[in-house]
Amino acid sequence: MIERRYRQRLFDRRGHQLVATEICEALLPRLRTLLALAQEIEHEMEGLRGLNEGRLRVGYSTHQFVMHVLGGFMDTFRGIKIEARCMASYDLLTLLNSGTMDAAFVTLPGPEADLEMLELRREALVLMTGAEHPLAGHTHLRLRDLSDWPLIQRETTSATRRAV
pLDDT in tens, 121-132: 787 778 888 999
| 74 neighbors 56 (Cβ within 8 angstroms) | no
Q: Is the pLDDT of residue 100 over 90?
A: yes
The CA-atom distances, in angstroms, between 110 and each of 70, 106, 115, 119, 148 are 23, 10, 11, 9, 27
Helix, strand or coil, per DSSP, at residue 54: strand
pLDDT of residue 95: 94
pLDDT of residue 164: 67
Percent of the chain with pLDDT over 90: 20
**Which residue would you say has higher pLDDT here, 48 or 131?**
131
Q: Is the pLDDT of residue 98 over 90?
A: yes
Nearest to 101 by CA among 70, 67, 56: 56
| 88 neighbors 59 (Cβ within 8 angstroms) | no
Q: List Cβ neighbours of 102 (8 Å cut-off, separation of 6 or more).
A: 56, 57, 58
Q: Is the pLDDT of residue 93 over 70?
A: yes
What is the pTM (predicted TM-score) of this model? 0.58
Mean pLDDT for 85-103 is 92
Q: Which residues of 102-140 are buried (b: 16+ CB within 10 A; e: fewer)?
A: eebbbbbeeeeeeeeeeeeeeeeeeeeeeeeeeeeeeee
pLDDT of residue 58: 94
Q: Residue ranges per domain, the chain? A: 2-49, 54-163
Looking at domain 54-163, its CATH class is alpha beta
Q: What angle do CA 114, 57, 50 make, to 5 degrees?
A: 95
Residue type, 134: P
Q: How confident is the model at residue 13 (pLDDT cuts 50, 70, 90)?
A: confident
